[in-house]
Structure 1
Amino acid sequence: MKKIIKALAHSFHWVTESNRLKHIQYGFYAGLCGTIFAAIGAGLAAEYKDKQYSNVFDWLDVTATVVGGMFGQAVQLLLMLGMYKIFK
């Protein structure tokens, strides 16, 4: 069991680098309030801003934002289905 947990933790080590947890968090908010396209736009805009400040455009940050947006979109869908069943 410890080997499995260690292997899973090693495969997701990229999440703990940089500020990717914030990217996931704000991508979640964008997906929850908007759509997955809002999360994609937010991730690309954040990385464009980083590039303007002489930093590197990091596709893993964009990926983290989109992953958070997918979770937010899933929660939004579940909320909408729940409201549909309540008010039906």
Structure 2
Amino acid sequence: MTYDGLSLDVAITALNYMKAINAKKKAISQSTDELIKLEKEFQMYRREELVILNQSKDDAMWYSTMHKIDKYYCPIIKSHFENEEKSCN
């Protein structure tokens, strides 16, 4: 199954990257409010993973989640890695 050229394995990988970025932020965060926000985001990524694995059996939700991964998460991941690369140089 694909969405606009985004394959299921790439979508799952993107969610795993978002969870890793989230974990990195949690490790350096000292604010209780920020930690609560990050935990809610982490839970959202887990639910989205279930949706794209078609656990919800809701096609509209699947397409919506895949769209979010493609148009929102993938640019965040790209930006994150570009910034990481710049900081290494």
Q: Give TM class, smaller chain.
A: 0.3 to 0.5
Q: Name the larger-Rg structure.
A: 1
TM-score by length of 1: 0.40
More strand as a share of residues? 2
TM-score by length of 2: 0.40
